């Protein structure tokens, strides 16, 4: 079992390294190509930032598939399954559509049609849902038409859920990376725990997706130097959906039931059988909730569901007082709690401690959510281990003694987010002339 883990780790590292190394040149290309739109009213960044980060992520995807195809254990996925080729075909189509949208802008309905075409291409090559496990009924086989419609719907929903949540620096890539990590743990357990090789493609897709996100995150963390754009958000959404479709519709739940022992008829013992249906929903629970709320909100206000606004969950976190970084970490926390909680429950669903742990962590998450002004301080001896914003400031005590107004001003200054650096490294206080020269190169008016 150790050898496959090392091969997956190698695939992840190669994907991350290629994505990371390509992002710098892609950023320069995006500036030269003018893929850097003006700041909109709903944006939270303060300076125009280049897009097209999806180009580097697609390069990482191709590198990961190429390397894994030559590894001893993983290459069997390419020999006995057409799913990697199906993923690459659909990813190429959705990536091209995203690049066009990042540079020139594409109508929302055209993007929706392109997403459906990419999903249809994957279905034609065998990446489709063949059956679904229904609690109380068992495995229900789907007709080709039903499988196609369900597959296309899952791909489109996942792509748009990830696209909707891509509103803060590092948010979408981090949340998808967390979801991919939880998904890999579950798919790998099905493959080597239950001996079902049908879960191998899903394990590969999850490892590559983690590499794509990890390689892009250093460039995308606040303050972001480049955005993934639709070319990146739609791409990672499609890869995430492909893994969910593979493990949900290709792995036979009856085989898992035979492995676990069909004499156990209690409902809680059947959770590992039905978890392939539940896990794909849990890993996109937060983005999907944001998607549903956005559609309801815009429809209620008489707007098109595709109209952009500042009502997303991450925007609400900023409005109630959370900083940019804190809002991202809160969204990370809830994504990890839901995804890894579902995986832990599938491993040992009879344990009361797992349920109690999830409830306790949920209470902690609610506390952090409702205390936007709370900023923990570490002891002086441990300050070197934490980011500067959590260290004690030398002037904090003096500001407090100077009076309430001075203390409030110091607190406001401490909460203030740093201004993102310009493309040439100039900040808001720095060289504005260099920023003006740069702005004329890439801005699209």
Please report whether residue 408 resides in a domain. Answer: no
Which residues touch 398 (CB under 8 Å, ≥6 apart)?
Answer: none
Helix or strand or coil: residue 37? strand
Per-residue pLDDT band at 414 (split at 50, 70, 90): very low
- Cα(205)–Cα(186) distance, rounded to whole angstroms? 13
Per-residue pLDDT band at 340 (split at 50, 70, 90): confident
Q: Give backbone dihedrals phi and psi of 134, rounded to 5 degrees, phi first.
A: -115, 120
Please report whether residue 19 resides in a domain. Answer: yes
Please report whether residue 419 resides in a domain. Answer: no
Please report whether residue 382 resides in a domain. Answer: no
Mean pLDDT, rounded, for 165-171: 80
Beta strands 138-141; 131-134: pairing state: antiparallel
Please report whether residue 352 resides in a domain. Answer: no
Which residues touch 233 (CB under 8 Å, ≥6 apart)?
Answer: 54, 98, 159, 162, 163, 166, 172
- Cα(106)–Cα(108) distance, rounded to whole angstroms? 6
What is the full DSSP assignment across 381-405?
Answer: GGGGGS-GGGSPPTTHHHHHHT-HH
Q: Give backbone dihedrals phi and psi of 132, rounded to 5 degrees, phi first.
A: -135, 140
Most confident of 11-15, 355-359, 398-402: 11-15
Does the pLDDT of residue 373 top 70, yes or no?
A: no
% pLDDT > 90, the chain:
32
Q: What is the pLDDT of residue 423?
A: 38
Q: What is the pLDDT of residue 396?
A: 45
Please report whether residue 389 resides in a domain. Answer: no
- With residues binned 3-state (H G I as helix, E B as strand, rest as coil), the percentages for the chain, rounded to 5, are 70, 5, 30
Q: What is the pLDDT of residue 336?
A: 86
Helix or strand or coil: residue 426? coil
How many Å separate Cα 11 from the centre of its chain?
A: 19
Q: Which two tokens stand for residue 173?
A: 């890539």
- Which has more confidence, 148 or 340? 148
Q: Which two tokens stand for residue 424?
A: 């040439």
Q: What is the pLDDT of residue 420?
A: 41
Domain count, the chain: 1
Q: What is the pLDDT of residue 46?
A: 58
Please report whether residue 37 resides in a domain. Answer: yes
Mean pLDDT, rounded, for 88-116: 94
Please report whether residue 363 resides in a domain. Answer: no
Structural domain range at position 51: 2-299
Q: Which two tokens stand for residue 182?
A: 């939880």
Per-residue pLDDT band at 27 (split at 50, 70, 90): very high
- Cα(81)–Cα(92) distance, rounded to whole angstroms? 19
DSSP secondary structure letter of residue 416:
S
Mean pLDDT, rounded, for 116-142: 84
Among 255, 285, 260, 280, which Cα is nearest to 270's? 260
Identify whether the C-beta of residue 87 lies closer than 8 Å to the C-beta of residue 239.
yes
Q: CB-side exposure of 442: number of CA atoms within 13 Å?
A: 27
105-119, 216-230, 414-428: segment of lowest average pLDDT: 414-428
pTM of the model: 0.75
Per-residue pLDDT band at 413 (split at 50, 70, 90): very low
């Amino acid at each position: 079992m150790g050898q496959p883990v090392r091969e997956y780790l190698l695939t992840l590292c190669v994907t991350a390294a290629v994505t990371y190394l390509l992002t710098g040149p892609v950023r320069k290309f995006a500036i030269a190509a003018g893929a850097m739109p003006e700041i909109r009213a709903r944006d939270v960044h303060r300076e125009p930032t280049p897009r097209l980060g999806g180009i580097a992520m697609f390069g990482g995807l191709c590198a990961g598939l190429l390397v894994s195809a030559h590894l001893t254990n993983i290459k069997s996925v390419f020999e006995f399954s057409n799913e990697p080729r199906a993923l690459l075909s659909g990813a190429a189509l959705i990536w091209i559509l995203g690049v066009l949208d990042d540079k020139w802008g594409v109508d929302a309905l055209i993007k929706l049609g392109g997403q459906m075409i990419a999903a249809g291409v994957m279905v034609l090559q065998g990446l489709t849902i063949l059956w679904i496990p229904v609690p109380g009924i068992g495995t229900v086989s789907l007709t080709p038409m039903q499988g196609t419609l369900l597959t296309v719907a899952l791909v489109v929903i996942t792509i748009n859920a990830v696209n909707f949540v891509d509103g803060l620096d590092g948010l979408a890539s981090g949340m998808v990376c967390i979801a991919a990590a939880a998904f890999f743990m579950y798919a790998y357990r099905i493959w080597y725990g239950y001996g079902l090789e049908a879960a191998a493609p899903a394990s590969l897709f999850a490892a590559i997706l983690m590499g794509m996100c990890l390689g892009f995150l250093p460039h995308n963390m606040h303050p972001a130097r480049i955005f993934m754009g639709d070319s990146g958000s739609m791409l990672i959404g499609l890869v995430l959906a492909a893994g969910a479709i593979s493990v949900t519709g290709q792995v036979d739940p009856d085989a898992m039931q035979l492995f676990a022992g069909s004499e156990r008829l209690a409902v809680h013992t059947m959770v590992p059988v039905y978890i392939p249906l539940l896990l794909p929903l849990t890993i996109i629970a937060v983005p999907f909730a944001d998607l549903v709320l956005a559609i309801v909100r815009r429809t209620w206000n008489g707007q098109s569901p595709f109209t952009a606004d500042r009502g997303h969950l991450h925007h609400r976190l900023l409005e109630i007082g959370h900083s940019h970084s804190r809002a991202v970490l809160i969204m990370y926390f809830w994504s990890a709690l839901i995804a890894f909680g579902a995986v832990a429950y599938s491993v040992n669903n009879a344990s009361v401690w797992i349920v109690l742990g999830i409830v306790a962590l949920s209470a902690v998450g609610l506390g952090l959510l409702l205390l936007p002004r709370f900023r923990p301080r570490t002891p002086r001896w441990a300050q070197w281990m934490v980011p500067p914003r959590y260290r004690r400031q030398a002037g904090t005590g003096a500001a407090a003694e100077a009076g309430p107004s001075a203390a409030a001003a110091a607190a406001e200054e401490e909460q203030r987010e740093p201004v993102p650096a310009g493309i040439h490294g100039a900040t808001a206080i720095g060289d504005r002339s260099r920023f003006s020269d740069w702005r004329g190169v890439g801005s699209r008016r």
